[in-house]
Amino acid sequence: MTFTSYQFFLFLPTALLIYFLIPGKLRTLWLVMTSFAFIWYFNPKYLLVLLVSAGISYGTALILDQINGKPDREEDGKTAGGENKVQIYKKKKTVAAAGILSVIGILILFKYMDFLLENINQIFHLSGEQVIANPFSLIAPVGIAYYTLQVIGYIVDVYRGKIRAERNILCYLLYVAYFPKIISGPIERADAFLEQTHDCKNWKLWNWERISAGLTLMVWGYFQKLVIADRLAIFVEEIFKNYMQYGTIELVAGITLFFIQLYADFLGYMNIAQGVSNIMGFTLQENFNAPYFAKSVREYWSRWHISLSTWLKDYVYIPLGGNRKGLLRKNSNLVLTFLVSGLWHGASWSFLFWGGIHGIYQIGEHWLEPVADRVNEKLHTRTESFGYKLMQVTKMWVLNILAMIFFKCATARDAIAYIGRIFSKWDPWVIFDGSLYTFGVDEKYFKVVVLSVILFFIVDWMKYKRGERIDSWLSRQCIWFRWGFLMMLILACVVFGAYGPAYDAGNFIYFQFN
C-alpha cells in the first residue's frame, strides 16, 4: 500500500476520520492499530519482524534504565547492590551490545544474507571448495532499514543517559511503526517523537491552518512524485536498461535526469508523509534542505537525507573517534561512515562504491580547500559573485552525478561500463535529430516535465534562500492564487500523472532500500 495506490486513498480518509472523532486518550492506540494494518497489508510476517525488533529494543532500554537508575556511589565506592562503577559500566555495555547486535542480526538476516553468502561462495569457488547453498532467500520486510536505525539510536540514547526508557508500550510501538514514515523515513529521534506520542491526547485537532498546510504539502508531494519523478523514470529506465546501445549524450541525459528523479521522488514522499502527519498534529523532522544548491560536499551532506546523515554522524562517526584522534583516523572514520551509508542503501558492491566515493570526496575537499583559497586570493577571484557560486554548484552536480552512476547501476561492473561509454561514444547529433524523444516520453510530455522541473527548483530555491516551505509561502498568498495554484497541481497530477503515456505509479525509490 504505497502512497500512490488506490488502497491508500481509501485507507487514509478512514484512518483520519476515526482519529478526529475518537476521544483523545484513544488516539495513540488508534494510530498503532492503523500503522499495524498498514504494514499487515504488505505482508503479515513483516509486522511480526517489526514486533520482534521493537520488543528487543523496548526490553533492552528498560534494563539499561534500571542500571542507570542505581546510585552512583555509596560507602567503599559501591552501590546498594554491592557493585562498583566499573561493574555497572560493563553490565550496561553488555546489555546495550546484546540489544543492538540482536536487531542488527535481524536486519542482516533479511537484507544482507544473500549478499554475504554470494561473496562467500565466490571465495570458496576460487579456492575450489564446495559452495554453500543459500537456505534463506528472504525478502526484506517493509521499513526494516529505517526502524532498525531508529531502535538502535533509541538504545544508545538510553545507554548514554540522554533519555529515559519509554514505559508506555503503545507510545513506543507508535514511534517504531508510525505509518507515514515506515516506508522511507525520516529516521526520527526517540526524544522528539515520543514526546509527541504522549502529548497527542491533548491536541486540538480541528485546526484549519494546520490541516490546510498538511494538505498543501501532500498535493505538492504528489506533484513531485507523479508529474516529475514518474515521468522522468520512463526515460531513465529505458536508458539504463539498454545503456550499451547508447552514446555520450543519451547516457549523460539518463544519469542527470535520474539525479533529478531521485530527489523529486524522495522529497515527494517526504512531503506526503509530513503532510499526513501535519493533519494529525505530528511533526516529522525535515529531511531535505535544498541540497542541489549546495556549493560543497560538506554542505551537500548537511542538506541531503538529513535524518540519515545526522544518525550516521552521532551513532557511527563520533563513536569511531570522529576527528578527535588525528587526521589519518579522521579520514578513515569518514570513509568507513560513508561505506556504512552505502551498505545501508543496498546489499551490493555498487552501493559500497557509491558510499566510498563520497567519503573520498570529503577527504579531497578537505585537502583542496586551502589550495583553492590561496589560488583565489592570488587571482583576486570574486568568490561572492553569482558566477563563482554557480561554478561551485555545477561542480557539486558533476561530482554527485558521477557517483550516482554507481548508485543507479545494478553492479559496479555496469557502472564502470556506463562511465566508459560516456567518454568513448560521442554522439552530439542526437541533440538535434529528435532521438531524445524516443525513450517513452514524447516531445509534448517532455516539455511538461521540463516546466515542472523548473517550478520544482524555483520552490527549492525559495527554501534555500528563505528557509521557507511551500505550505508556509502559499499560506501568505491571497486565497485566489493559493487555491488556483493547488488546483493547477492537482490537475497536473491527474492529467500528466495518471493519464500520461506509459503511466505506472511506481514505488518510491527509497522504498527499495528497506
Asked if 62 and 96 touch (Cβ cutoff 8 Å), the reply is: no
Sole residue written with cell 532467500: 137
Please confirm whether the linkage preceding 186 is cis (ω < 30° from 0): yes
Sign of CA dihedral 243, 246, 252, 253: negative
> For residue 490, with 0-12 CB atoms within 10 Å meaning exposed, 13-18 middle and 19 or more buried, which class applies?
middle
Q: Which of 125, 305, 345, 380 is catalytic?
A: 345
170, amino acid identity = L
- Is 380 assigned a catalytic role? no
User: Residues 189-214, buried b or exposed e (16+ Cβ, 10 A)?
Assistant: bbeebbebbeebeeeebeeeebbbbb
d(CA 221, CA 492): 12
> What 8-state DSSP symbol labels residue 281?
T
State how far the alpha carbon of 399 is from the alpha carbons of 5, 364, 378, 421, in Å: 35, 12, 26, 18
Cβ of 434: how many Cβ atoms within 10 Å?
10
d(CA 361, CA 404): 13
d(CA 95, CA 313): 23
d(CA 278, CA 206): 12
Active-site residue numbers?
345
